[in-house]
Structure 1
Amino acid sequence: MKKKLGLVLMLTALSIFLAGCSEFNKPIYKDSEGFWNEYVVWPLVSLITTFKDLLGSYGFAIIAVTIIIRLVLLPLMIKQTKSSKRMQEIQPELKALKEKYKSKDAVTQQKYREEMQKIMSERKINPAAGCLPVLIQMPILFGFYHAISRMNVTYDIGKFLWFELAAPSITFAVLAGLMQFVVLRTGPAMDNPQMKVMMYIMPFMIMIFGSFLPAALALYWVIGNFISIIQNIFIYKPFKKKEVEPVKVGGKRK
């Protein structure tokens, strides 16, 4: 189930990304045609330029808009992380259940699925609930990515601190990658062996992409990851010492 949901998310993300790839080097204007331009990219560009007029630089504008977007998405993000946390909490129980019904015959596997569904129902866990918020976020997040990319063509977005926002910045790329590592380290990946691989792959990929993409995008990643770290600290409480509880299997404690 998880693999299928993960595949759906990956295909959705790829389709959205590819849908706008051909537009990356094209200017963006108010009268740019197409649903993606009119209702996603241009509104985000307008919001960034509005905050640039208020705050004096595109750098501060990108920070402000990133914070606004993350605040709007916060209820969905909290729902997603809480769903991941509940799934994480029952992993020992599911592992014990899988060991109990390790036989591959059809009857045993049917019992395993029934018991697993019973645990999910009792804990009020819906595996798809954590994926829906991600699907909703994708158009907004990719739209912001496209908006910043195409603003480099249309506007002179200048500098933030001493970094040219239109040019790649190794410093921002490394910082974004390191912060992504902290995001994963303070989230569900810290206790999930299957997700621990992500702690090393994703930050590395962000550093690579960030090293040749505009610094404005790396700045967006840095601010977004900073907000995610704060969110994880409040939800997952990664620095709190956890008590190990015995796992119930068939009414007995192991």
Structure 2
Amino acid sequence: MDDQNKNLILATVLSFAVIVAWTTLFPPEDLPVDPATETVQLLEDPTLPASDAAAPTAMTPTDAAEAPAEAPRVPIETDELSGSISLLGGRIDDLALTQYRETIDENAPIVRLLKPVGEAGAYFASFGWTATDGIDASAVPGPDTVWTLENGETLTPTTPVTITWDNGAGQIFRTEISVDDAYMFSFAQSVENTTSTPVSARPYGILRRHGEPADLKNFFILHEGMVRMTDGELEETGYDDITEYAVDPRERTQAERLDVASSGWIGYTDHYWMTTLIPEQGVPFRSTSKYFDVRDLYQVEAVMPIETVAAGETATVTTRLFAGAKEWEEIRHYQDEEGVDGFLDSIDWGWFFFLTKPIFALLHYLNIVIGNMGWSILALTVILKILVLPLAYKSYVSMAKMKELQPEMEKLKERAGDDKQAMQQGMMKLYKDNKVNPAAGCLPILLQIPIFFSLYKVIFVTIELRHAPWIGWIRDLSAPDPSSFLNLFGLLPFAAPEPGSILALIFIGILPILLGVSMWLQQKLNPAPTDPTQQMIFAWMPWVFMFMLGHFASGLVLYWIANNVITFIQQYAIMRSHGAKPDVFGNIKASIKKKAAEDAKKEGK
């Protein structure tokens, strides 16, 4: 077995093993947090918000707060959003993303992000106050307070609205709500103290979700659940892990995950959508994640420092709420232009973030220029191949030199016979004398592993690939090729198998077949190995990969096809320039004749 083939087999098997491991094993683990320890640290610093164990009850769900209630609503109308705000608790509990539909069907329903209590999958944001000094707990607004609309009629990017609540004890609470032209809301919470004595209260924001999302993917390559930034440290906790810190509202046990930060945010992230509470950056706040087991409620909170309001004075605290699609350009704008610390990390870039971030940025800019994600993926493939060309060039030159050494290798095998040590020593001397690196042949393949995974992550996670068309039948590059050999790629009058079904995995589409053919042709740059085991591996490898990657996103398969074609051209040209003459058609004919001879031999037996 020559070393060139050994290296190629080793690299291929390693690639396959890593792909399988990546899709079946090693989910990222969330580090456990000791709630008791964090509570102690919290209470030791009087400048930071205290634990809920001591004060707020408004943030704990009650029957009144969770029962569906009729209350006036304030419409929300922007180019990106539609919905309404309920004056019950001042909740944003009705929000749809007007630019996104649930499927690629142009008549499909638009995506609903937030839903009111009483509907399946209720999910809302609410803002209020908790009582501290000089004010009774019943005299502060909470999630079930009925507010009054004071100013405005419809919330738009140019017309904010103000809601108010008078507690009848000398304090008037107001919340001015505004929204930009994308997905960011601002809540300016104020309390006016009309009494002759100072009062203190603490503002908060909550996100409350009834049960897990219905479309939860449960795919470890994608994080869904709580996401939090705490002074530059990102924490991602899945729904299963959140339930370990359950809160029983009847016992008021505080088994919660909490942290204190001077900058950051906390919220819930789905595959493509996110809701996030963003307190004023640079001001200490406490972020908490809870799960109420009795009601199956997930809740995150951002609790700000105590505001002491002197007699006749007004205090105001502003908290922002991001509720929308995880569009890279918008989220980067909020981070870089509006000071939301580390907000770009709310997109799940994965372990290879140092590759996924620049790869997506390049893909994004290519799409701006080209205007089509499919062609942008092809352009990205060309650029990546150019960047790794120096390494590929050395590799292919080494492979060409090894081909030139084939006659010498055969002679060496004859002389060494069964003496493996002599054979090994002779090979090393041969490589050294001719300045050949036998390991160079597998470097381009090994280099493809992190690039492949990074692009896989980009295509799977980023919303910019969602429902992005390419040509003809490829209308969604984030989904598998919808064509199928079963109906002759649309020629027969019946539909292709549903994606994910057994038939869809067997009767694959056009792109997976092109992938297998491109890998097979790339193999034919070199003669088939003489070793029977190698022959079997090489014979089956393209078709195994064809079926294995057939149900992957079309964008990823498109990249792999383009990569194979460019690699074929590069390797052919470089080997020709160094005297090696790959006989592709001759190798194909030889493999066919060899197969026919083997079949005839079996029949003769």
* TM-score for both structures, normalised by structure 1: 0.76
Structure having the higher helix fraction is 1
Partner of 2:397: 82
Partner of 1:229: 568
**Which of 168, 191, 196 is 2:480 aligned to?**
168
| Contact 1:13 1:138 (8 Å CA) reproduced | no
| Alignment of 1:209 onto 2:548 | yes
Q: Aligned partners of 1:172, 1:9: CA distance in 2, in Å?
A: 21
What is the letter of the counterpart of residue 573 of structure 2? F
Q: How far has the Cα of 1:120 moved from its partner? A: 1.3
Partner of 2:221: 23
User: Do the aligned partners of residues 11 and 173 (structure 1) sit closer, same or farther apart at CA in structure 2, a change above 3 Å counting?
Assistant: closer
**Which of 77, 82, 102 is 2:417 aligned to?**
102
User: Do the aligned partners of residues 141 and 155 (structure 1) sit closer, same or farther apart at CA in structure 2, a change above 3 Å counting?
Assistant: closer
| Alignment of 1:156 onto 2:500 | no
User: Do the aligned partners of residues 199 and 71 (structure 1) sit closer, same or farther apart at CA in structure 2, a change above 3 Å counting?
Assistant: same
C-alpha distance after superposition, 1:118-174 (max 9, x if no partner): 2111111122233344444432232122222223x5642421111122222211111
Q: How far has the Cα of 1:100 moved from its partner? A: 1.5
How many residues end up aligned between the 2 structures? 235
C-alpha distance after superposition, 1:181-201 (max 9, x if no partner): 111112x3x253355545532
User: Do the aligned partners of residues 210 and 74 (structure 1) sit closer, same or farther apart at CA in structure 2, a change above 3 Å counting?
Assistant: same
Query: Which runs of 5 or more residues in structure 1 are unaligned?
Result: 243-254
1:32-111 aligned within 5 A: 32=347, 36=351, 38-104=353-419, 109-111=420-422
User: Do the aligned partners of residues 110 and 66 (structure 1) sit closer, same or farther apart at CA in structure 2, a change above 3 Å counting?
Assistant: closer
Q: Secondary structure at the match of 2:388?
A: helix
Q: How far has the Cα of 1:96 moved from its partner? A: 2.4
| Contact 1:172 1:218 (8 Å CA) reproduced | yes
What is the letter of the counterpart of residue 522 of structure 2? V
Q: Aligned partners of 2:386, 2:448: CA distance in 1, in Å?
A: 12
Percent identity over paired residues: 28
User: Which shifted more, 138-147 or 175-184?
Assistant: 138-147
| Contact 1:181 1:203 (8 Å CA) reproduced | yes
| Alignment of 1:142 onto 2:453 | yes
Structure having the higher strand fraction is 2
Partner of 1:116: 427
Name the Cα RMSD after superposition. Answer: 3.3
User: Do the aligned partners of residues 8 and 230 (structure 1) sit closer, same or farther apart at CA in structure 2, a change above 3 Å counting?
Assistant: closer
What is the letter of the counterpart of residue 469 of structure 2? K
Q: Which has the larger radius of gyration?
A: 2
| Alignment of 1:129 onto 2:440 | yes
User: Do the aligned partners of residues 239 and 9 (structure 1) sit closer, same or farther apart at CA in structure 2, a change above 3 Å counting?
Assistant: closer
Q: How far has the Cα of 1:6 moved from its partner? A: 5.5
| Contact 1:168 1:214 (8 Å CA) reproduced | yes
User: Do the aligned partners of residues 88 and 157 (structure 1) sit closer, same or farther apart at CA in structure 2, a change above 3 Å counting?
Assistant: farther
| Contact 2:572 2:582 (8 Å CA) reproduced | yes
Q: Secondary structure at the match of 1:167?
A: coil
| Contact 1:58 1:157 (8 Å CA) reproduced | no
Q: Aligned partners of 2:584, 2:221: CA distance in 1, in Å?
A: 46
Q: How far has the Cα of 1:33 moved from its partner? A: 6.4
